[in-house]
Chains A and B, each alone.
Chain A
Amino acid sequence: MSVRLQMSGIQKRFGATRALADVTLQVQEGEVHALVGENGAGKSTLMKVLSGAHRPDEGRMELEGQLYQPASPLAARQAGIAMLYQEGSLLPHLSLEENLFLGQEECRYGFRRQQIMRRRSLDALERVGLSELDPNMSAAKLSPAQAQLVELARAFVSGCRLLVLDEPTSSLSRRDVEKLFSLIRSWRQEGMSIIYISHFLEEIESLADQVTVLCDGRSVETRPLAEWTRQDIIRCMVGRDVSQLYPDLAPPQEDCVLEWSSGEEHLQLRRGEILGISGLIGSGRSEFLEALFGLRQGPEAELGIQGHAGYASPRQRWQNGMGFLSEDRKERGLALQLSISDNLWLSSLPRWSSPKRRRSEAEIQVQRLKIRCPSAELKVSGLSGGNQQKVALGRLLQHGCDLLLLDEPTRGIDVGAKSDIYHQLRDLAAGAGGQPPCAILLVSSYLPELLGLCHRIAVMREGQLGEAQPREQWSEHSLLEASLS
């Protein structure tokens, strides 16, 4: 085996923030190299340096022994390095084929060479297991999981030898994750190198050959997977032991906060209760939450929220004491160009308030959630993915709700912070610090989280909500069964 990529002494600053202090990374041919670290440790930045999106301030990169200095993402792609971005980058108005070849069209005298491109796009689609798709179809018609695979296919069109996957599974369902993993394993067989970033240590244990931990912009340690234990990795990342990932739950109270029934289906949520909804992506879980919150037309149903009956607008929902966290952080969850403070306050602004007061109270929330930022006046777009998610969650804490609707609340959040958030959710549900206990409706694709945090779990299948059962009666296996069959 030979060394495919060697990065040494990489440094990168953004204004006053030092994102990368000193990173050394070596990736072999035919290896899955996992990169782990806390939110804001610099993983995405490192990969953007590698894929030509950012230029490093300092440091040297070598690709197969040659000095490598990509001037742009296109140059990186031509050198054989492809990156799958955390957020999708397909153009909806173009066909699959046009998307695949965007920026690298096969042309002669300025004319597209249809035949060659058709053959190569069919080839690439087959390699990502999408041979049933027509390259002429519009990219807008793809499901999110398919769209991600098509983006991967793009890598094969350009003859990629090093593939970077930055949290690829955060919006995939379990089945699609399995499919992706088997694809990754087969590519590894063919000698491709893969850098894999994830906050799910289970995934890393089942996939990686080497694991590198990044902490505060430094590469702390690289070892083969077999020489790491899960506790080691966490300690190395977070700098402390996370002994109890999931908190103990307090029993819920008697009074109902939410009552919903439609035909056979029904749902009751008591104060102090955390109720999980499991199911495949696209099974209608998010739509259900959105309908409850008044963001879309709900099905014919009896609905009562703390004595208020029927559907209402989001504004009225906030006034009823209900809060909602959208799974789509970029599009609807956050106003990326506004400051952290403005985002935290957006739903709960008093009629008059001074910027100073807004900032000082936002700082409290920033500390409570350990959001890594120089000040609460920073634009949210300058935060790392996980820290952005914390801001979105922070808004609900700032508002003080009685009923929280959370859609994938810990997406992209690191292990240590996840544990903090679980404990905070539990405290909210149990009513800590003089607050009345609240009820939480939690949609998640991460089964251990549902089993660890919820009193009861219901499964959604093709828009039908099943009976909620106490968590003791579920296992990962049975949850999966129920969502499939």
Chain B
Amino acid sequence: MKDTLWTLLKGDAGRFLVLIAIVLLFAAMVPGGNFGSWSNLENILIQSSVVSLAAIGATLVILSGGIDLSAGSVLAFTVVVIAWVMAKAGDQPPSFMLSLLALAAGLGISCLCGWINGMLITSLRLIPFIVTLATMQMFRGLTSGSARQTNIYPPDSWLNSIMDSVSGVQGKAWMLMPPAIWLTLISALSIGALLRYSRWGRHVIAVGSNEDCARLCGVRVLRIKVSVYLLAGLFAGLAGVLQYAYIGIGQPTTGQGYELMVIAAVVIGGGSLSGGEGSILGSLIGALIIGVLFAGCVQMGWAKWLQTFFTGAIILVAAILDRLRQQQGSA
């Protein structure tokens, strides 16, 4: 009993406690005392949802033994494509169909980017790090190019409201949570279920753990990898949709450095860069820890460099804890 409790604490439950502890810490420190209020927490959740969504895709990639550095660029590409289509409406609000079209175009592009990553990695047998390092730059370049290096200012549409908070808002309270958070939750649940219950999910983990063994056991390794990068693209795209809703313009420089934040979330959540280990729940908690830290620093009025520094420190601590856990498991 004591043992099982301890293993639980070392896993996602322990991470959750760390998250709670950080929240409580800031709640005690932030002047005014409303850090812990529901509307503030809701805001933090909303702001974290961009990284959270992308982290779901990155978890898959890291589980399969790869890495995706292009997530930030794919996110920006999606933002710009959506804005570009929306801007076709001119000055009047875009029709519902046009917004759908914009959404489809944005997600289509992100899936295409993910698919390209996957195909380059599998068919040319290149290392994921190198491939996505290259495509990170290429996608960013294409993003800038398609926005003619300036921001695109599309008219407002219903898309812009999916990141709005709903608590205490007249006529929206029935949603309980903003659509962005629902989207994150549903995505996390479905990918989590796929990993646990489906053959595809177990195969992703097997590929990450030992690719040769998986191939020998009849796993279609290449197909699995392509599907994983495609999904990573899709989730980066969904994160892009949220980002678009949040900033409301097609800004080609948005999301720079997000790829590292996303990877950090996965690593804090227990993901191992050598593959085969990690969980969706863990990554979400990781993303929230980063989000709370950022919001906390801002509300404390601390300088931006402190946020950056703390994120790094948290990654280090997570890695050290992971190391300790593994040593206990094996030695």
Contacts and interface: CB of A to CB of B under 8 A. Distances in A.
B196 A335 contact: no
A337 B274 CA distance: 11
Nearest to A353: B197
A243 interface: no
Contacts of B328: 15
Interface stretch (A176-184, A188-196, A339-347, A469-477): A339-347
Nearest to B328: A15
B203 A335 contact: no
A188 B289 CA distance: 62
A354 B212 CA distance: 25
Interface residues of B, number: 26
Given A338-B206, A346-B206, 4 more contacts: A15-B3, A16-B3, A335-B210, A342-B206
A304 interface: no
Given A314-B215, A337-B276, A14 B199 contact: no
Interface stretch (B216-224, B232-240, B248-256): B216-224
A170 interface: no
A373 to B, nearest CB: 14
B196 to A, nearest CB: 6
B3 to A, nearest CB: 7
Interface of A: 14-16, 54, 293, 295, 314-315, 317-319, 324, 326, 331-338, 342, 345-347, 349-355, 379, 381-382, 395
A326 B277 CA distance: 24
A295 B199 contact: no
A334 B213 contact: yes
17 contacts: A14-B330, A14-B331, A15-B329, A314-B218, A317-B218, A318-B218, A331-B210, A332-B212, A335-B213, A336-B209, A337-B277, A338-B206, A346-B217, A351-B199, A352-B198, A352-B199, A381-B330
Contacts of B213: 331-335, 346
A310 B276 CA distance: 34
Nearest to B223: A315
Given A15-B329, A315-B219, A335 B214 contact: yes
A346 B330 contact: no
Nearest to B202: A349
Contacts of B205: 338, 342
Nearest to A317: B218
Contact of B210 (A14, A315, A332, A395): A332
A332 B219 CA distance: 13
Contacts of A349: 199, 202-203
B210 A336 contact: yes
Contact of B216 (A326, A336, A342, A381): A326
A355 B218 contact: no
Q: In this complex, which of B197, B217, B330 has the most chain A Cβ atoms within 10 angstroms of its Cβ?
A: B217
B210 A342 contact: no
Nearest to A331: B212
Contacts of A14: 330-331
A138 to B, nearest CB: 23
A338 B215 CA distance: 15
Given A317-B218, A347-B217, A349-B203, A382 B330 contact: yes
Interface string B295-331: 0000000000000000000000000000000001111
Q: Which of B198, B206, B216, B220 has the most CB of A within 10 A?
A: B216
Nearest to B277: A337
B100 to A, nearest CB: 32
Given A346-B219, A379-B329, A334 B197 contact: no
Contacts of B329: 15, 379, 382
Given A14-B331, A337-B209, A345 B202 contact: yes
A338 B276 contact: yes
Contact of B331 (A54, A338, A347, A379): A54
A126 B214 CA distance: 42
B214 to A, nearest CB: 7
Contacts of B276: 335, 337-338
B49 to A, nearest CB: 28
Interface centre among A319, A335, A342 (most CB of B within 10 A): A335
A313 to B, nearest CB: 8
Contacts of B220: 315
A315 B218 contact: yes
6 nearest A-B residue pairs (beta carbon): A335-B210, A335-B209, A315-B218, A318-B218, A347-B217, A332-B212
A354 B197 contact: yes
A163 B206 CA distance: 38
A331 B210 CA distance: 8
A335 B206 contact: yes
A334 B217 CA distance: 10
A52 B277 CA distance: 29
Nearest to A336: B210
A246 B330 CA distance: 36
Contacts of B212: 331-332
Contact of A355 (B196, B199, B209, B277): B196
B219 A350 contact: no
Nearest to B272: A337
B218 A347 contact: yes
Contacts of A395: 217
Interface in B171-226: 196-199, 202-203, 205-206, 209-210, 212-220
A319 B198 CA distance: 19
B321 to A, nearest CB: 18
A352 B196 CA distance: 9
A127 B146 CA distance: 70
Contacts of B218: 314-315, 317-319, 347
Contacts of A345: 202
